[in-house]
Amino acid sequence: MFFSRQVERAVREHRMFTHGDKILAALSGGKDSLALFRELAHQGYDVTGLHVDLGIKDFSVKARMIVEKFCQDLGAGLIVISLAESGLAIPRVKAAVKRPICSVCGKIKRYWFNKTALDKGYTVLATGHNLDDEAGRLLANALRWDTAYLSDQGPTLPAEAGFAAKVKPLYRLSEFETASYCFLRGVEYHMDACPYAKGAGFTFRKQLMQSLEQKSPGSKIGFYEGFLHKARPAFLALEQKNHEKLLPCLECGYPTSAGTCGVCRLKRTLAGQAKFNEYS
Amino acid sequence: MFFSRQVERAVREHRMFTHGDKILAALSGGKDSLALFRELAHQGYDVTGLHVDLGIKDFSVKARMIVEKFCQDLGAGLIVISLAESGLAIPRVKAAVKRPICSVCGKIKRYWFNKTALDKGYTVLATGHNLDDEAGRLLANALRWDTAYLSDQGPTLPAEAGFAAKVKPLYRLSEFETASYCFLRGVEYHMDACPYAKGAGFTFRKQLMQSLEQKSPGSKIGFYEGFLHKARPAFLALEQKNHEKLLPCLECGYPTSAGTCGVCRLKRTLAGQAKFNEYS
């Protein structure tokens, strides 16, 4: 089947993992992450789910229920991290920070993905990013010529001090293809859009890529693969010169260039505000 | 005035030329080339026009008339090269080659621009490429990650063996701005689209850039300037390794990597076909 072959090809060409690896797969409850998990399980990989409960009321309750039922039906292991428990429920974070919430939420999720993989001894972390995600993000990075991001972007990131190895086995498959996979395999997924993501810029960039794809089919994968083979080496060479040295966060050990990492600083900010509210 | 200041800034920041230079400006008869010429003349530069008559029936007759009248009204010098005279009228070329005619026509025009500038002792060749042309072409090059073109693209190309220095003083101004300039200054220009350019891919890429610009004003110039400052150095470093050595064409002296240059090969092909038609 086309879907399985594209995953096999991505895994093989980028040496993402083998059947000896302990894979932790991030599960949001959306079509991409569930399709990824089901496919890896069916290909016989040792894969465990990780769900980060964002604490966004009904939206997160529903997401968690879908993920729990999915893993139960499949007889698969699942780890759930509740952001509310560590005081970082997204609505609370959104009220406290001025930056766009999508980028802060992404940062918090990546923090827990990485921490869980390292703490629990998984050898690789897999996420459900698809071709539309990747090509849209590449377009955004190229439109800004953000050479640091451009030097980093790809379907794999090797493990290094404080960071788990990360892979994106669906990077060759479009949103439409992961949705079709779920439909054909009877996978029930979370269809609601996050209530905070409305009008996010990346949707617009995805639409641009989509109109290119309609005009010349193959544009998206050509743009992304062409980047990996031809342009990324140039950005890697450029960035090796200005590579920032990362050290463990003074509070949690997560690699950071700032003494205390972003998530610990966020926790401190929120704790300070809570104290302020208590006394006022 | 905004238009003049943008031209002054482009000329100054990229050291395009001084009032001591002998500038040859390519004049197609369209809004961009006429706006460029008029503005340079008004800023007191020593500028002469060069029109390449493509031999595309009514379209070219009209273009040439517009350019001749424009230069006469301005009291400016004009050189006209007629492609029909050297056997390369575009309709004839189009009938003989299989490649898209726009790229072949561009190649022939650049050949004559360069040859005329060198033969007649001009110190720099100026073309009317605007921001939409440049950003659209950059997007096309980035979508293909054509590292050779990416390492070369910019508002200036220095003179080197066999090549005149080339500059694009309008690279900071949009199509809309050059059209407005012509309207406000009473410059009559050729509005007809080339009959062969219909459905050309670059129009679509320009539209994409335009929708980005509408979504976030400043996108086009940010994309182009960001490229020049941040990304082009990476591509330059990459391409220095695989820089092809150019030698003078065996027939006309134009730099080429192929022994005989593309234009001389084209002439030979057309001459061969004419002979064939004569005998058949």
pLDDT tens per residue across span B5-37: 999 999 999 999 999 999 999 999 999 999 999
pLDDT for position A273: 74
User: What is the pLDDT averaged over residues A61-67?
Assistant: 98
Q: What is the mean pLDDT of residues B47-58?
A: 97
| Mean pLDDT value of segment B229-253 | 87
CB–CB contact A208 B204 (8 Å) = no
* Cα–Cα distance for residue pair B17/A256, rounded to 1 Å: 48
pLDDT on residue B276: 61
Residues of B in contact with A219 (CB under 8 A): 143
pLDDT at residue B277, rounded to an integer = 63
A101 near A196, Cβ under 8 Å? yes
A211 and chain B: CB distance < 8 Å anywhere?
Answer: yes
pLDDT score, position A204: 78
**Predicted local distance difference test score (pLDDT) of residue B197:** 82
Mean pLDDT score, A15-35 = 98
Which of A139, A143, A241 would you mutate first to test chain B, the one with the most B CBs within 10 A?
Answer: A143
**Cα B254 to the chain's mean position, in Å?**
17
Q: Which residues, including other chains, have CB under 8 Å from residue A67's CB and lie 6 or more apart?
A: A27, A28, A29, A34, A49, A51, A78, A80
What average pLDDT does this structure show over A102-128? 96
Distances (CA, A) of A35 to A4, A9, A22, A133, A185: 10, 16, 18, 15, 9
Beta bridge partners, B48, equal B24
Which tens digits make up the pLDDT trace of A116-158? 999 999 999 999 999 999 999 999 999 999 999 999 999 999 9
User: What pLDDT digit, counting tens, does each position of A181-208 carry?
Assistant: 999 999 999 999 899 987 555 677 888 8
Q: CA-CA distance, B191 to B196, in Å (whole number)?
A: 15
ipTM of this predicted complex?
0.83
* HSE-CB of B275 using CA atoms within 13 angstroms: 6
> Are the Cβ atoms of B143 and A223 closer than 8 angstroms?
yes
Give the nearest partner residue to A238 out of B204, B227, B233, using CB atoms: B233
Q: What is the pLDDT of residues B100-154, one digit of tens each?
A: 999 999 999 999 999 999 999 999 999 999 999 999 999 999 999 999 999 999 9
H, E, C per residue of A244-269: CCCEECCCCCCEECCCCCHHHHHHHH
pLDDT for residue A170: 98
pTM of the model: 0.87
In Å, how far are A228, B23, B39 from B74, measured between CA atoms?
A: 52, 16, 11
CA separation for the pair A8, A40 (Å, rounded): 9
User: Does residue A217 sit at the B interface (CB-CB below 8 Å)?
Assistant: no
Q: Measured between alpha carbons, how far is B269 from B267 in angstroms, rounded to an integer? A: 5
Name the burial class of residue A80, with classes exposed (0-12), middle (13-18) and buried (19+) by CB atoms within 10 angstroms of its CB. middle
Inform me whether the C-beta atom of residue B183 falls under 8 Å from chain A C-beta atoms. Answer: no
* Nearest Cα residue in chain B from A146: B230
Residues of B in contact with A142 (CB under 8 A): 142
Whether the predicted pLDDT of A176 surpasses 70:
yes
Strands B46-53 and B22-26: parallel
- With CA atoms as reference, the chain B residue closest to A215 would be B204
Q: What is the pLDDT of residue A198?
A: 72
Burial class of residue B72 (count of CB atoms within 10 Å of its CB; 0-12, 13-18, 19+): exposed
Residue B121 is predicted with a pLDDT of 97
